[in-house]
Amino acid sequence: MTMELLEEKRGVDRRNFIKGGAMAAGALGFAALAGCAPKDSAKDTSMASTAGEGWDDEADVVVIGLGGGMAAVLAAVDAGATVIGIEKGSAMGGNWAINTGVVFAPATDAMKNDGAIDERTGAEDTIDSAVDDWIRCAKGNCNPDLVRAVLTEEQSFINSLVADGVNVKTELCGMANAPIARGHYIVGDDGNRSGGGAFTNVLAERVNNTSAKILLDTTAKRLILDDAGNVRGVEVREGGKGKRIAAKAVVVATGGYTANQEMRARWNPESAGWGVIGSEFAQGDGYEMLLDCGASFAGFKTISPSVTLEKNSRDAFQTNNYQIFWETGAASLIMLDSAGKRNRSETQPYTQVDGALLTVPNYQVFDQTQLDDPNFCLCNGWSKESLNKAIEDGWVVKADTAEELAQLLYLDPEVVSEEIKRFNEGAAAGTDAFGRPADTMRALQPPYYAATGTNGISGTDCNCLKVDDQARVLDRDGDPINGIYGGGNDMYYWNWAGSSYIASGGGAGAAYGFSVIAGRNAAAYALSEK
């Protein structure tokens, strides 16, 4: 179901509510919101107090979702607002904690420390060059002003980590056709590359050191609007009890609906039975609440399919190790389908891969050269030590010949041998049947390794809220809904990357940047209401 049809359906549901006086609260929705008035109604600038007005708590700004939304909390507090943060899980992090461990950012101090030079110009990176690259890669289908604002916040974040003494390193797993190391990861005390949890820990510590009140194990149910359509608070459920929190502005950063199987069955039936790469709390709560408020959504596709290692797919939710290498950064790596054949370029970003091309099972095949490559772009907390342990445990197989590898994978040895041979010949000639760029190909040499994969959903961020340059959520007429702002992955692709997957770490970086912009502007709006 397209987002347009979804919006139409929500309109029908809303009319049914008005006619019947009630709506069943099910897995996909709660009671419809009251107070959605025509937008030309007179603005009500009154603010309810917790004292005797039916409110259990109050703040200038409420942030819903504390993954990337943690950045919104920090920005709103820094702007002088009182803040309440609401998180459905028992800890902050959400989908932001379950990323590859890479945050995209341009022109950072970490890049300068690592001597990152643009191979095209021989110069250091700049915000301007990053914006230009973004516009080019998005084929102009982006908002340049918003791109610049988000990239600037990403830069500021990484620079703050470096200033705090965090060991941040850079890598080239970055923007397509932009040969400069804009990917950033944290090196742990053990000297190994850390996953997304390392960035999350930094943000969580910063949030805990602010005046913000954090409500964990708390689910936002609906936004409360006045008769003029201005947000006035949030209805939540905490510890089995309902609460009403008064707020002048709300930031919604709930991370999509990857973990809501019913939503996926309705809107993305092709994903039925796929695993989940992400937080179990990404249930689409924000989408439901905002659709009830008349918010507008846009997108070019609805899901981000990715390879999930079969070993880990037995778990309901993937918290790490869902993939060994980033395809875009692995020269000596190919993907084989269930018949042992290549069917796509491995450098095609996972967000743009049609799920039909990701057969079940599928196989991630690489070699010793890739394993030994110092720029091997290991994913999400993997290290050489953990990979060697996986090999020892037998769920990443190792073989001295292509034929032996095929036998271990229960594939046809002739097919696998021919695919490796064909790839190696293409690497030597600088050509590929699937359009893989020549400079990303390196012939596979024995010994060979392989992990078995299946399909998983890494995000629904391609369907996202429409926002303006201030991260204000727009209604279906393109006008801001007073006091409602969008952050995190709920905002990602459509608003600034167009239809292009730009870079490894782009989602994490954007979730942070959007949240900062949303939190800062939400605070400004809330304080102007006093």
Q: Say how far apart CA 191 and CA 317 lie, in whole Å.
A: 28
Residue with tokens 């943690």: 70
Q: Say how far apart CA 500 and CA 494 lie, in whole Å.
A: 9
Residue type, 83: V
Instruction: Read off the pLDDT band of 34 (50, 70, 90).
Output: very low
Counted residue by residue, the chain has a size of 530
Contact 76, 82 (CB under 8 A): no
CB atoms closer than 10 angstroms to residue 166: 16
Indicate the helix (H) or strand (E) that contains 168. Answer: strand 168-171
Indicate the helix (H) or strand (E) that contains 264. Answer: helix 261-267
The pLDDT score that the predictor gives to residue 60 is 98
Q: Give helix 144-163 / helix 506-528 axis angle, nearest 10°.
A: 100
Q: Which of 167-176, 471-480, 487-496 has the highest mean pLDDT?
A: 471-480
Convert the pLDDT of each residue in 76-93 to its tens digit: 999 999 999 999 999 998
Q: Say how far apart CA 263 and CA 9 lie, in whole Å.
A: 13
Convert the pLDDT of each residue in 281-306 to its tens digit: 888 888 889 888 888 876 544 455 56
The Cα-based distances of 186 to 189, 323, 385, 488 in angstroms read 10, 18, 17, 20
Share the mean pLDDT of the chain: 79
Instruction: Read off the pLDDT band of 47 (50, 70, 90).
Output: very low
Instruction: Point out which residues pair with 84 in neighbouring strands.
Output: 62, 213
The pLDDT score that the predictor gives to residue 342 is 93
Residues of the chain with CATH 3.90.700.10: 304-458
Q: Say how far apart CA 283 and CA 1 lie, in whole Å.
A: 17
Q: Which of 69-83, 98-112, 337-351, 472-486 has the highest mean pLDDT?
A: 69-83
CA 313 from centroid of its chain's CA atoms: 19
- Asked whether the bond before 361 is cis by omega within 30 degrees of 0, the reply is yes
Contact 442, 456 (CB under 8 A): no
CATH of 304-458, one of 3.90.700.10, 3.40.30.10, 3.30.565.10, 3.20.20.70: 3.90.700.10
Contact 104, 183 (CB under 8 A): yes
Give DSSP secondary structure letters for 35-55: ----TTSPP------SSSSS-
Convert the pLDDT of each residue in 194-210 to its tens digit: 777 889 999 999 999 99
Instruction: Read off the pLDDT band of 64 (50, 70, 90).
Output: very high
Res 21 pLDDT > 70? no
CATH 3.40.630.30 is held by the domain 1-12+53-302+462-530: no
Q: Where are the alpha helices (DSSP H) in 29-143?
A: 70-78, 109-113, 127-137
Instruction: Please tell me which residue, 98 or 323, carries the higher pLDDT value.
Output: 98
Res 28 pLDDT > 90? no
